[in-house]
Amino acid sequence: RIGSATSLSSAVINTRLQELVRLFKERTEKVKEKLIDPDVTSDDESPVASPAAVVPAPGGELEEKPSGDDHYCEMLCCTFKSQPWLDRLKSYQFPSSIDPLTNLMYVLWLFFVVMAWNWNCWLIPVRWAFPYQTPANIHYWLLVDYLCDLIYLLDILIFQTRLQFVQGGDIITDKKAMKKNYLRSQRFKMDVLCLLPLDFFYFKVGVNPLLRFPRCLKYMAFFEFNSRLEAILTKAYIYRVIRTTAYLLYSLHVNSCLYYWASAYEGLGSTTWVYDGEGNSYIRCYYWAVKTLITIGGLPDPKTLFEIVFQLLNYFTGVFAFSVMIGQMRDVVGAATAGQTYYRSCMDSTIKYMNFYKIPRTIQNRVKTWYEYTWHSQGMLDESELLVQLPDKMRLDIAIDVNYNIVSKVALFQGCDRQMIFDMLKRLRSVVYLPNDYVCKKGEIGREMYIIQAGQVQVLGGPDGKSVLVTLKAGSVFGEISLLAAGGGNRRTANVVAHGFANLFILEKKDLNEILVHYPESQKLLRKKAKKMLKNNNKPKDEKGGPGDPLIIPPKADTPKLFRAALAATGRMGGKGPLGRLRWRLKELKAMQ
């Protein structure tokens, strides 16, 4: 058994040595090719991972160890696969610094803080005005109150002291600096003020909800949560509409609480103006608040001076608050439909222009179709208008994510400088073609390369020029040879028609030439590849010798070999017979030719 294990180990070592020798030979061939042809750029491939170590077992069989991604726990005589998330949960450490702009965990925590803040803002007025807080249920109210206070305290001690900030253009992540920045901020002062321990007065005046009113001063967390949530939502305007509606409902909520307090102050049912104490008190008071703030009318007239003053203040506040809410709602809806409004104005201006110059109806319908499809497929008419506001580096990052996977597969650009490809990505232009639109026509000068982003195009040919030779789908590239071809080789060889709606990326020849000025090595490689691709495209036609144009004078047939041998023998013998005279005549004809 020991001998067999040793032989297995030596076999594994020999196999590994042979693999290393093969890798060294491949590397040597690549370096030799680079030295012979300098225009060829070497693509540095990532090193191949070594195979997992195979350890011979004592019994002579090869035993593979489990990979590091699998977690096993041994129990008695069996091995069970454990759950790695439990280990990760045990070893989890709270981050020493938090990015408030991109950390989703911080946004989730702000949600809980805002929920605690809303509990205080909505229920403190209700518990103060309405008789809903009783000695029988006081312990439930206090339990939720102090749970909200705990959330406030954790926000101060754990989260706010770990928030990163920018100072002099640098992102500060030092613990002491972050804590010092928070202690000096206005946010810390308001957070401390909202946690004033006025609850100790409960022992003297009883459990009065108004003593918890400072808890409503944590409004900064609410506005920060709105900002962070709108940044990660795809349709933020929906949340803005919901938030504006909540503002209106809260103002009605506070007014209903004030009305019940005024009715209790005057005496329930004492006059026709106050609440009479029948039915659900909150619903009835809320209904009165809606009619007052929206100024619907139909309310009983106030009788006392207190009721008159209260009603006047309600009318004034209602008109002001309602007008503010309507203006804010208009701004929210206007911002949400700004793009649609711009699209509609552009389309109306174009239609007005075509009607003024009496453009045919068929062309007008195609223009309208282009507007509608471009808007519904992209959500905008021109992508460059959106990206022009971004810095050059961010435009490059977006272009890499959108287009790099497609451009990197183009055979013409493989092996080129990566930075040259990055510069080329920023020059790509998106164009939408309608069904049966000609992308390019046979015989025209090629000045662009096309990359299919979505849709299909058909290459037409044949005697009538209408036969479908091939259908190109999303991710395909055509026209790339025309970018570098010269000497008449950049003419289109076939008609290309859009089959349905097609979104194409276009790279113009002048843009590529401007880029290649800064990359001479890539320019040499591209020209070499373009010549090779042109040669390969023309080679099958030359070999097959297609029908071609008929020759006016057919070529002369070659002299038979036997006849040439006889003439040569006659010349050597110095003969003057018919063969000799024929030989002399052939020499004259050859000299004339």
Per residue in 88-98, pLDDT (tens digit) is 766 777 888 99
pLDDT greater at residue 296 or residue 348: 348
**Spatial distance between the Cα atoms of 428 and 384, rounded to a whole number of angstroms:** 10
9 pLDDT tier (thresholds 50, 70, 90): low
Segments in 37-166 forming alpha helices (H):
84-90, 104-129, 138-154
Number of residues that this document lists for the chain: 593
pLDDT of residue 42: 43
With residue 157 as reference, give the H or E element that holds it. Answer: none
Record the pTM.
0.63
pLDDT-based confidence at 579, cuts 50/70/90? Answer: low
| CA–CA separation, 478 and 481 (whole Å) | 8
Name the residue type at position 306: F
Is the Cβ–Cβ distance between 222 and 203 less than 8 Å?
no
pLDDT value of position 553: 44
Percentage of the chain exceeding pLDDT 70: 77
CA pair distance 134, 243, nearest whole angstrom:
32
pLDDT per residue as tens digits for the range 345-356: 888 999 999 998
Report residue 366 as tokens: 């195609």
Which residues are CB-neighbours of 566 under 8 A, at least 6 positions away?
Answer: 579
Average pLDDT, the chain: 80
Q: Does residue 487 surpass a pLDDT of 60?
A: no
Give dist(CA 140, CA 212) in Å, integer. Answer: 16
User: Are 346 and 371 spatial neighbours (Cβ–Cβ below 8 Å)?
Assistant: yes
> Which has more pLDDT, 220 or 540?
220
Query: What pLDDT score does 194 carry?
Result: 93
Among 72-86, 148-162, 186-200, 458-472, whose mean pLDDT is lowest? 72-86
Indicate the range of 143-157, 265-279, 407-421 predicted with least confidence: 407-421
Is pLDDT at 231 greater than 80 in this prediction?
Answer: yes
Confidence of residue 1 (pLDDT cuts 50, 70, 90): low
Alpha helices by DSSP H, listed for 337-382, are 338-356, 361-378
